[in-house]
Amino acid sequence: MVNGKVWPNLHVNPQQYRFRLLNGSNARFYHLQLSNQQTFIQIGTDGGYLPQPVELSSLLLAPAERADILIDFSEMAPGTKVILTNNAKAPFPDGTTPDPQTVGQIMQFTVINAPVIPQKKLPPVLNHMPQLTPTKTRTLTLFELMGPTGSLGLTLDGQFWRNSVSELPQASSTEEWQVANLTTDTHPIHLHLIQFLLVGRQKFRSDDYLRDWKRLNQTTPPGTPPYYSKPKTLSIEPYLQGQPIAPPQNERGWKDTIKMYPGEVTTIRARFASQDGSPFPFDPSIGPGYVWHCHMLEHEDNEMMRPLKILP
């Protein structure tokens, strides 16, 4: 569904158009491409412009992720029809391939014979990103609780929502979060209140880390539903494999939701301040606080959400 319409058609002039994309699905990822294999330009992410325009042939959007893109129809003859397609498996990344006749099609563009509106040239530099220096590093996990009969829920660091708050960043501080995905799903992890920058991703020995993390943290006897109280941190360094994977060009802008892939550690730098680095124009420590969570609805409503309390 696009803007409330299923499989809509948009008449377009033979010129460049700007589209702002939001994945508003419960859990479905979208791997978007144009049916004529034409490239397009991404200029923005969740929190604003990218440093430079990025030319793409496809774009993967997880639930809650946003993208600002430009599609150029200027070389297409009137009457040309182009379909925006999706081939992301559901659940992502190892689920079922979408039906190309249904969820494999998002919308259609039809080029019409109309006057072209003069357009400005895109500048080579769109935004200047800061160098964030963290003063604290947290190592956290995405973890599925398993009981005698199967899954009991998906968690952040093995914690339930009702557990005491464990993420307590200081206002105006910068923290580096290393998040180890111990599940088989890709999770779009979202932090409230702020935007952050992706540092990179890296493969790790997830089975070995999971075994050692559970041995360190589980507080209930074997054979009973597991419960993890006040989790102890297990260093990720001895389990890393290969070289760090730098952020792709179109993930180098401000983000508040980021894809965290199975078998990888995703590292972000979060500055708990206004986006320009100045202190919040309000006291973020007042009130009920904020949250961080997986943005797949069925996950966030099944324990994969935790309180986030800002200290003054």
Q: What is the CATH number of the domain that holds 89?
A: 2.60.40.420
Q: Give the strand pairing for 196-203 and 305-308.
A: unpaired
pLDDT in tens, 53-77: 999 999 999 999 999 999 999 999 9
187/301 same-domain check:
yes
200 vs 218: which has the higher pLDDT? 200
How sure is the predictor about 120, in pLDDT bands with cuts at 50, 70 and 90? confident
Cross-strand pairs, 157: none
Q: Which residue has the tokens 């190309």?
A: 100
Q: Are 195 and 254 spatial neighbours (Cβ–Cβ below 8 Å)?
A: yes
Helix H or strand E segment including 179:
strand 174-181
Same domain? For 72 and 194 the reply is: no
| Average model confidence (pLDDT) across the chain | 94
Averaged pLDDT, 294-300: 96
Nearest to 63 by CA among 36, 14, 19, 30: 30
Question: Is pLDDT of 230 > 90?
Answer: no
Q: Could you give the CA distance from residue 302 to residue 307 in angstroms, rounded to a whole number?
A: 14
Residue-number span of the structural domain to which 51 is assigned = 9-111
Long-range Cβ contact pairs of 231-234 (< 8 A, separation 24 or more)? 231/141, 231/157, 231/158, 231/159, 231/166, 233/138, 233/139, 234/139, 234/209
Q: Are 97 and 188 contained in the same domain?
A: no
Q: Note whether residue 13 is domain-resident.
A: yes
**What pLDDT is attached to residue 267?**
98
Per the CB < 8 A criterion, the answer to whether 73 and 18 are in contact is no
Q: Is residue 126, in this structure, part of any structural domain at all?
A: no
**In whole angstroms, what is the distance from residue 104 CA to residue 97 CA?**
9
pLDDT at 28: 97
User: Looking at residue 47, what is its pLDDT?
Assistant: 97
Instruction: Answer whether 66's CB lies under 8 Å from 295's CB.
Output: no
Sorting pLDDT into bands at 50, 70 and 90, what band is 152? Answer: confident
Whole-number Å distance between alpha carbons of 116 and 71: 14
Q: Are 300 and 294 in contact (CB under 8 A)?
A: yes
Count of domains observed in the chain: 2
Whether 92 maps to a domain, the answer reads: yes
Question: Does a structural domain hold residue 69?
Answer: yes
In a domain, 117, yes or no: no
